[in-house]
Chain A
């Protein structure tokens, strides 16, 4: 393993660094308020490693939820990860010994860094993806443990720093828009999500949006095949 690929992977993950430290710290603070210490916080960030699920998970731990409720809630919140895995199937297929971890660590942010399929020329693409995934999880674990230990004693206001995640997705969207020839998939994603947000409200729109996106993309494909 050479130094260069580690550096390239690190620079790729810098945008996620700030966001994961802050969002992770937010989770750590919530855990602290709920009476859970650093070991619990580190364990959840290491083994669950799913941002919004962990936030909800604090409520499940303190609210007296049962196993079935917990399992169903997890499915509802993390269903979107099915999409990430489906679009990485061909890319991760032959990743060998890195494959299990690559699949385990496929969060929203890691996905947005790796879904364009670009890796440094002449380098082992699987190792590169593994390092990007691993660095991201390190930030997440470090942020959540820090938040749990230091809590809310930061000397400056970090209000608004959570926007870095929105900015990450927006930058990645723009980049894909600029490189893509066909803009229909991108438009499908935005328009279906907006329509479902209006129809179903902010709490319940994600699953209908995913179904709508799949349906429209499927129709687009059969139209293309009809043309041939």
Chain B
């Protein structure tokens, strides 16, 4: 059966959340999104600043409430990436995410590739880039959007590809 592409779903979800939280400039308040999720996602998303190792994970507790667990010793920008990736896993597990086929659109076994794709989309959305972004260095954009440098580099490549595809 046909599925929406993962790129399309990531763009839709990222932009819908940015719209919901009225985000008009970087940096994107990813922590706020987990602390105060939209009402229909309240059972799927929460933030716990603890993890059994210096990293992050998404789990459902005994109450079945889903939460992103982030180790507080992670660097702040790494925490933001971890929160955004965890947000994707919560969306994938939500009723709406399952209804739109998010689970079937994920091709990698552990969803890491897809969750990082979503994280780049929501932390560095195309419509929040400065008009002269193509003249800026990845370092400048990484600072502006509060993302790791390698994330900014990959996102810039993705955006260049999108622009050339549209031409």
Task: Please indicate whether A and B come from the same complex rather than being unrelated chains.
Answer: no
